[in-house]
């Protein structure tokens, strides 16, 4: 479901607890007033995950994705990405994203969903000791079969 500015306190709380370098309130506000797609997941009426996508010229880019650390490992990010891919199927041909080179859990998730490494940006992210490289991942949507029941857990 889409989130709005009234949801930002909860979204920011998740963002701050899930990331050492969280997005700012301004980042989210800018996304909400632009053409970005701001979505999330609620469990028992409370936000537990969020993602922001940009769509330009038939391509989607995942700008941010976070899950409440208390709920990580429960397929929430995976199911959110699968849902968004199904929504994008008629609008875009591919999804791109950047991920910290050290984020092996996220990389495993993206690769399990059919994303492939397409490049690397050196010194892209801030890190405790300087900068960290970002890996660029891409997935062609038209290659994904949403009708297969074993694709979604």
Active site residues: 98, 110
The CA-based dihedral angle spanning residues 62, 22, 2, 45, taken in that order and rounded to the nearest 10 degrees: 130
Q: Which of 55, 57, 50 is nearest to 27 (CA)?
A: 50
Q: Which of 69, 67, 32, 36 is nearest to 50 (CA)?
A: 67
DSSP annotation string for 12-35: HHHHHHH-SSPPPHHHHHHHHHTT
- Determine the Cα angle at 141 with ends 91 and 110, to 5°: 125
Which secondary-structure segment (H or E) carries 68?
A: none
Strands 130-140 and 37-43: unpaired
């Amino acid at each position: 479901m889409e989130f709005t500015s009234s949801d930002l306190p909860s979204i920011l709380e998740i963002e701050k607890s899930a990331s050492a370098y969280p997005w700012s309130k301004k980042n989210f506000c800018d996304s909400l007033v632009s053409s970005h797609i701001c979505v999330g997941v609620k469990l028992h009426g409370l936000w537990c995950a969020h993602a922001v996508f940009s769509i330009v010229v038939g391509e989607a880019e995942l700008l941010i994705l976070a899950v409440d650390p208390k709920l990580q490992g429960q397929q929430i990010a995976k199911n959110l990405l699968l849902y968004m891919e199904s929504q994008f199927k008629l609008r875009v041909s591919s999804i791109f994203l950047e991920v910290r080179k050290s984020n092996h859990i996220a990389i495993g998730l993206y690769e399990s969903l059919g994303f492939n490494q397409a490049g690397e940006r050196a010194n892209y992210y801030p890190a405790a000791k300087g900068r960290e490289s970002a890996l660029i991942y891409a997935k062609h949507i038209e290659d994904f079969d949403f009708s297969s029941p074993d694709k979604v857990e």
